[in-house]
Structure 1
Amino acid sequence: MQSLLALQSGKLKGAVSLKLSEDLSDFPAEIFELADTLEVLDLSFNKLSSLPADFGRLKKLKIFFCSENLFTVLPEVLADCPLLDIVGFKSNRIKTVPAKSLHKNLRWLILTNNNIAELPKEIGHCARMQKLMLSGNRLATLPQELGNCKNLALLRIPANKLHELPTWLATMPRLSWIAFSGNNFSKTPAVETLSLINWHDLEISHLLGEGASGVISKANRTMGDETSEVAVKIFKGNVTSDGLPEDEMTAYIAAGYHPGLVNLIGQIALHPEDKKGLVMDLIPHHFYNLGNPPSLESCTRDVFSPEMRLSEKQILNIAKTIASLAAQLHQAGIMHGDLYAHNTLIDEEGSTLFGDFGAASFYDKTAVELAFALERIEVSAYGYLLDDLLSLSNKPHEGTLTILGELRDSCLDTIPLNRPGFQDLVDALAKV
């Protein structure tokens, strides 16, 4: 992170990227001295509530993050930057989104955790929009015009006040990842309580990883005279871009046992800060991440290490495991919402473990048309996963992979209702 002093002294002249977090209450005018080069600007974690009227002088700006500030209105001057296509105003106090603030060039818009009750119909003019993050607001409806954003691939709308899912979602040709838990229409089923594990019987060893919803650590669990190694996830309790942590925990429990899921052992009891948590099997060391999360450039598509290559056996095992697991989830009325390679762990044999229920949502299986449509949205995500797997093949032209290519194409049909269901995919893969 750079400093305001370095900016003011001219040491940052020619910078392409700038990140300042110094309790700023006013926009530093010196930023305009970088107008000829600046493409990425991050002013998150400050005390800003407005932008200067001439903000559009930043003609080369492509990415602007201004999260954790004090804005109550999404600034209209954002639209004066002709190349700006990624905008993030997470965790402000925004109530109003003016039509003028939504430039048609927008590709990725983050408005998570604000106070927005309504979006302007002009959002439908954002034809390039691929990723829209609206969790944790006060939206009771989504504008019909949003259905004009035919490139929209990922939509996050949990923890709002929506009374129903719009019917036009079922017609979106590229929508593949959607989360909607925690709304007025959401029905979270009762799930069986797992075995309760006393916090005092766990000895936390070290951090394994941290995500938006919680922290995962390695721990030793004592049961009488026996000690075993486990993984422990403690939920943070705050709304994330994907949804509410309690919905994640409930969905994971409701998913039930599947060989492609990390096995749940129990729920945390008597946590000293009364936090919720899960105890899981420790993932074997020889498993590794299949992919990495999308980059700012790739937006909705995972990225992979250049040296990553997969055998036909690995590809087929991964494809079969994820299809089988997804079929089980949808049979239970669970939309995973984040079916991605970066949530997939594999080994050299193609053994697969899938996880991260942070974006999971429950839906009503008895609403047949809605259930059919939601499954086809997730099938599209599976199609992109197949596309990723095929791109990593060390022998891309073998017969089996040709069949997977045909399945991929059917999953990505731009008419969602023409796509197969997950059980159809399971049956087709069983013949490969």
Structure 2
Amino acid sequence: MGNGPSIKEHVETASKTGVLGLSHKKLSSFPPSLKQLADILRTLDLSDNCFSVLPSEMENFRNLKHLKLDKNSLRNLPSFLGKLVKLESLSVRDNHLTELPVTLSALKNLKEAHFSGNKLQEFPLMLCGLRHLDMLDLSRNSITKVVNDPNLATLHVIELNLNQNQISELSEYLAKCPRLRTLRLEENCLPLTAIPRCLLDESNISLLAIDGNLFAPKNLMEVEGYEKYMERYTEVKKKLS
């Protein structure tokens, strides 16, 4: 633990601020003293520790808005996370997750969800319908396709990051996502024929990142609807310049 503050000192400070950072503490279990913070904590950072499961005590932390669990050894997330309905950001990067609990669909206030660097194999449809979710990062996983499910049309993210997966199929319903502006698909297994025309000429997407797939990016110009996509892309560039 080095010469930094002790867990007791962190807990004492958190009782006043509502913010607790316990990263890099080699923790594999919940310090008993944390229980007294159940009604107080708004931010909890347990990243860079040794958790393989999340302690059941966390179910009582109902006022949490920000939860960070990056770089642990988690193979799954408990269903009780769905009870932490005030969560606005959830980060579980660089763990060993193979799936996500369906109860995450209850996190109606979630704005950011980061699951990069795991072993997810399927697109997490339970996150569709979350109206405040702006950012979903699923990069560096093992997803092979974005299934053609109508529920995808209720995905409200502004940015969807699917870089560095194994995706070879895309759903046309992505074009119906009402707020989707940035779609990142770099370093996947997509052939040119897998890019739905509607993504180009019917969606709101203004940045489609497709480098590192089974076709040269310039070949996207051959797909019908490319001109409409470039109109949106150029318009956004002008606004930012």
Determine if the TM-score, normalized by the shorter chain, exceeds 0.5: yes
**Structure 1 residues 87-123: Cα deviation after superposition (integer angstroms, max 9, x where no partner):** 0001101112121234332221100011000134322
Aligned letter for 1:65? K
Gaps of 5+ in 1: 188-329, 339-358, 390-432
How has the CA–CA distance of structure 1 residues 41 and 378 changed in structure 2, closer, same or farther, with 3 Å as cutoff?
farther
CA distance in 1, matches of 2:104, 2:5: 28
How has the CA–CA distance of structure 1 residues 162 and 51 changed in structure 2, closer, same or farther, with 3 Å as cutoff?
same
Q: Provide the TM-score with structure 2 as the length reference.
A: 0.78
The aligned residue for residue 18 of structure 2 is 16
Q: Write out aligned runs for 1:14-413 (5 A).
A: 14-21=16-23, 22-105=25-108, 106-143=110-147, 144=149, 145-149=151-155, 151-185=156-190, 337=207, 361=211, 362=217, 364-369=220-225, 371-372=226-227, 374-375=229-230, 378=233, 382=236, 386=239
CA distance in 1, matches of 2:179, 2:13: 44
CA contact (8 A) 1:54 1:77 kept: no
Larger Rg: 1
Percent identity between matched residues is 23
Q: Provide the TM-score with structure 1 as the length reference.
A: 0.45
| SS of aligned partner of 1:365 | helix
CA distance in 1, matches of 2:78, 2:5: 24
The aligned residue for residue 311 of structure 1 is none
Q: Give the deviation of 1:175 after TM superposition.
A: 1.2
**Structure 1 residues 204-238: Cα deviation after superposition (integer angstroms, max 9, x where no partner):** xxxxxxxxxxxxxxxxxxxxxxxxxxxxxxxxxxx
CA distance in 2, matches of 1:178, 1:57: 36
How has the CA–CA distance of structure 1 residues 186 and 36 changed in structure 2, closer, same or farther, with 3 Å as cutoff?
same
CA distance in 2, matches of 1:16, 1:125: 29
**Structure 1 residues 248-283: Cα deviation after superposition (integer angstroms, max 9, x where no partner):** xxxxxxxxxxxxxxxxxxxxxxxxxxxxxxxxxxxx
Q: Give the deviation of 1:32 after TM superposition.
A: 2.7
Q: Give the deviation of 1:71 after TM superposition.
A: 0.6
**Structure 1 residues 20-46: Cα deviation after superposition (integer angstroms, max 9, x where no partner):** 121111122322322232111111111
CA contact (8 A) 1:25 1:48 kept: yes
| SS of aligned partner of 1:125 | coil
CA distance in 2, matches of 1:82, 1:26: 23
Aligned letter for 2:174? L
The aligned residue for residue 306 of structure 1 is none
The alignment yields a C-alpha RMSD, in angstroms, of 2.9
| SS of aligned partner of 1:64 | strand
Gaps of 5+ in 2: 193-199, 212-216
CA distance in 1, matches of 2:231, 2:112: 23
| SS of aligned partner of 2:39 | coil
CA distance in 2, matches of 1:46, 1:141: 32
CA contact (8 A) 1:137 1:160 kept: yes
Structure number with the higher strand fraction is: 1
Aligned letter for 2:22? L
